[in-house]
């Protein structure tokens, strides 16, 4: 037929041989043998972790870190090599570590790691020389030392450099927090919480992959991805032992209940949810069962209102930045709390829950609060803000 040229079978074979170093016939990229070998080494290493087999772990390279994580109850542990840079008999691999804590994680924690390997001569086997957090990635607890594990009824506490007695105290507080959540929040969640207690503030910062200055004065934070249940598989409450230790008994309980509320509401907290709502709601749950008056729980806001400096707007996400002024940060949290407290008092607790869900169900931040206020509360942001400002005056004047 005109315009067509028949290619013989031998020509096809010759063409494939010519291109085999770049692309296999059928369009598949040829496998990198070093990357494949590195993946096999890490697969054996992962199996050794799950089997608690120290000897098998040591046969894959350095045994450093094995004992540090041996007490952690793991349901899954695996590595995925994403890239390998080889120079002679050494290699550096970019690796994704995925693991689940048994009985607590619905899905895996994912952590970037940098694994360095060496090979004993040409044709020798690759072995792990070091395994560290990737650049800008946070540490895991076992990167900081041996992990001590304390189990509560509803909690699992992982501590580094902490006594069993101290960790038991955290477990007791978490165990009291978890049963309180269903009274305020009826959503589906695991009703279990993992609390991580490092040795110091610097340890907390290392776990979060940020400077220590970002968390000075912050008692605890909750890690986890927003955006629905399938993307919120494994929350961690990470404690700053320096700041937490300065709190009284009530303050410690409020903090643990606040952070546990974040765990409970995570599936309904999305990028559409402003921080004044997520943080304010968590504080509302934290203080709900206490008798703390607003003037006691919100001293910075009380001072501002009494001095005639009533906020003109609800706090923005930027107002919750940890690196800003401590008083301004406190006022942002207090403002969110009193906004949620006002909704519960004037519209009812059921409407507060429905409002939280409606905001989080929105596809994007733009319009989320406006639509939810209209549909659930029957108001507008402007009218709500005016009502909130009057509420502050009534509480603090």
Note whether residue 102 is domain-resident.
Answer: yes
pLDDT tens-digit map of 39-71: 999 999 999 999 999 999 999 999 999 999 999
Residue 249 pLDDT: 95
pLDDT tens-digit map of 220-231: 999 976 555 445
R_g of the chain, CA atoms, integer Å: 27
Is 359 exposed, middle or buried (CB count within 10 Å of its CB: 0-12, 13-18, 19+)? buried
User: Are residue 395 and residue 280 in the same domain, yes or no?
Assistant: yes
Percentage of residues in the chain with pLDDT exceeding 90? 80
Q: Which of 189, 228, 183, 181 is nearest to 357 (CA)?
A: 228
52 or 8: which leads in pLDDT:
52
Domain end (from 212, 239, 267)? 267
User: What CA–CA distance (Å, rounded) separates 141 from 152?
Assistant: 19
Note whether residue 154 is domain-resident.
Answer: yes
Residue 16 pLDDT: 35
pLDDT tens-digit map of 90-105: 999 999 999 999 999 9
CA atoms 202, 204, 210, 213: torsion sign: negative
**Residue count (the chain):** 397
pLDDT grade for 20, boundaries at 50, 70 and 90? very low
pLDDT tens-digit map of 377-386: 999 999 999 9
**CATH number for the domain that contains residue 215:** 3.30.2010.30
181 or 14: which leads in pLDDT:
181
Note whether residue 23 is domain-resident.
Answer: no
User: Are residue 127 and residue 147 in the same domain, yes or no?
Assistant: no
pLDDT grade for 182, boundaries at 50, 70 and 90? confident
Q: Domain limits at 122? A: 33-137
Total structural domains within the chain? 3
Domain end (from 86, 118, 137)? 137
pLDDT grade for 322, boundaries at 50, 70 and 90? confident
Note whether residue 22 is domain-resident.
Answer: no
76: tokens are 């899954």
User: Are residue 131 and residue 144 in the same domain, yes or no?
Assistant: no
110: tokens are 């994912």
pTM: 0.88
Note whether residue 165 is domain-resident.
Answer: yes
**CATH number for the domain that contains residue 85:** 3.10.450.50
Residue 12 pLDDT: 38
User: Are residue 281 and residue 389 in the same domain, yes or no?
Assistant: yes
Please, are residues 110 and 96 in contact by the beta-carbon 8 Å criterion?
A: yes
User: Are residue 298 and residue 397 in the same domain, yes or no?
Assistant: yes
User: Are residue 370 and residue 387 in the same domain, yes or no?
Assistant: yes
**Quick one: how far is CA 346 from the chain centroid?**
33
Domain end (from 267, 297, 315)? 267
| Average of per-residue pLDDT across 117-142 | 93
């Amino acid at each position: 037929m005109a315009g067509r040229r028949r290619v013989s079978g031998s020509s096809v074979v010759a063409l494939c041989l010519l291109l085999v170093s770049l692309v296999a016939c059928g369009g598949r990229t040829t496998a990198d043998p070093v990357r494949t070998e590195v993946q096999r080494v890490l697969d054996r290493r992962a199996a050794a972790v799950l089997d608690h087999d120290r000897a098998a772990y040591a046969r894959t390279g350095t045994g450093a870190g094995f004992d540090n994580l041996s007490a952690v109850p793991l349901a899954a542990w695996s590595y995925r090599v994403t890239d390998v840079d080889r120079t002679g008999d050494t290699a550096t691999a970019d690796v994704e570590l995925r693991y689940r804590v048994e009985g607590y994680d619905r899905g895996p924690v994912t952590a970037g790691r940098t694994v360095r390997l060496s090979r004993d001569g040409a044709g020798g086997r690759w072995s792990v020389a070091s395994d560290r957090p990737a650049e800008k990635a946070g540490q895991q607890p076992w990167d900081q030392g041996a992990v001590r594990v304390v189990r509560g009824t509803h909690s699992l506490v992982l501590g580094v450099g902490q006594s069993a007695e101290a960790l038991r105290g955290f477990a007791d507080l978490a165990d009291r927090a978890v049963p309180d959540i269903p009274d305020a929040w009826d959503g589906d969640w695991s009703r279990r919480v993992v609390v991580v207690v490092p040795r110091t503030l610097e340890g907390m910062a290392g776990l979060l992959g940020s400077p220590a200055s970002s968390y000075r004065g912050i008692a605890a934070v909750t890690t986890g991805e927003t955006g629905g249940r399938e993307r919120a598989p494994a929350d961690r409450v990470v404690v700053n032992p320096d700041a937490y230790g300065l709190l009284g008994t009530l303050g410690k309980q409020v903090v643990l209940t606040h952070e546990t509320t974040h765990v409970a509401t995570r599936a309904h907290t999305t990028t559409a949810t402003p921080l004044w709502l997520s943080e304010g709601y968590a504080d509302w749950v934290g203080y709900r069962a206490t008798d703390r008056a607003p003037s006691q729980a919100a001293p910075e806001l009380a001072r501002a209102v009494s001095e005639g400096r009533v906020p003109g707007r609800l706090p923005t996400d930027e107002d919750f930045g940890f690196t800003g002024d401590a008083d301004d940060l406190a006022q942002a949290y207090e403002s969110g709390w009193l906004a949620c407290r006002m909704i519960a008092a004037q519209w009812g607790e059921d409407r507060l829950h429905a409002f939280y869900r409606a905001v989080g169900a929105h596809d994007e931040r733009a319009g989320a609060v406006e639509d939810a206020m209209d549909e659930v509360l029957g108001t507008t942001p402007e009218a709500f803000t005016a009502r909130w400002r009057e509420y502050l005056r009534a509480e603090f004047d």
